[in-house]
Structure 1
Amino acid sequence: MNQGIEVIGLYVRDQEEARAFYVDKLGFRVHTDVRNGDYRWLTVQHPDQPSFQLGLFLPGPPMHDAATAQALQALVAKGAMPPMVLTVADCRAAYDRMLGHGVEFTQEPVDRYGTVDAGFRDPSGNGWKMIQARR
């Protein structure tokens, strides 16, 4: 039996804002965008990883009640969720390109641990580490 992780979800405050960020600024592409009433299933993919999807989900029904959804949104906005990691071939070049697209960086590229890394946040407050792949 084949098993694996296909979708990892992020909570976002606005799905359209998140879609624009991940597609227009980071270069991902939309994989699935379907609605069922008020619920929207929106996933994006990195072009180099077609078997993996990043879900951009709103806290709320059908998974959470209003109070839980509000608490989750507050945690995301504070950057309290664990960071995701984006691997790139050249961290400084990716930093310059993404900065030019208006990405908010929390850490400029630095050399450490034998590689280069930087930090940024999406519009909802989700933290990312961008790490240069070791050669």
Structure 2
Amino acid sequence: MDVKLSQCFIAVDDHDKALAFYRDVLGLEVRNDVGFEGMRWVTVGSPLQPDVEIVLEPPAANPDFSPADRQAMAELLAKGVLRGVIFSTEDCDALFSRVEASGAEVLQEPMNQPYGVRDCAFRDPAGNLLRFTERPRS
């Protein structure tokens, strides 16, 4: 079978703050910015992966959600428990320095993991967990 990842979704509560982080700090390019029925979806991606997109979406984008569902999603997002994404990088330490300088919440400084990668972790402006891994050079 020929199955590849095309898009993943990250809930954000403030698209402008999310853009400042994903575009300006991480260097992802903006591929789409769409408003519909009072909501906004922004698609970003790495220039190194033109066929993979990250959609920054409202936390309760489903029109069938009840007001209670919307409130529950907002509370889960505020706790930082909705989604997580793992990015790869060629230089974990340099990336860590750049992201830390942006003021992002540090969860883990760069460290070598027993399973063979060096990684670090942050929260994005909405509280989502982001890990950055560097594979060992061969």
Q: TM-score range by the shorter chain?
A: 0.7 to 0.9
SS of the equivalent of 2:30 reads strand
What CA RMSD, in Å, does the superposition of the two structures yield over aligned residues? 1.9
- Residues 1:105 and 1:91: Cα distance change in structure 2 (over 3 Å): same
Alignment of 1:1-135 (within 5 A): 3-61=3-61, 62-113=63-114, 114-135=116-137
Which moved further from structure 2: 1-10 or 97-106? 1-10
Mapped to 1, the partners of 2:130 and 2:101 lie a distance apart of 17
Cα shift at 1:121: 0.4
Mapped to 2, the partners of 1:47 and 1:39 lie a distance apart of 26
Moved over 4 A (4+): none
SS of the equivalent of 1:97 reads helix
Cα shift at 1:82: 4.2
Cα shift at 1:38: 1.0
Mapped to 1, the partners of 2:39 and 2:81 lie a distance apart of 25
Normalising to structure 1: TM-score of the pair?
0.88
**1:1-27 CA-partner distances (Å, limit 9, x unpaired):** 965332111111112211121111111
Structure 1 unaligned blocks of 5 or more: none
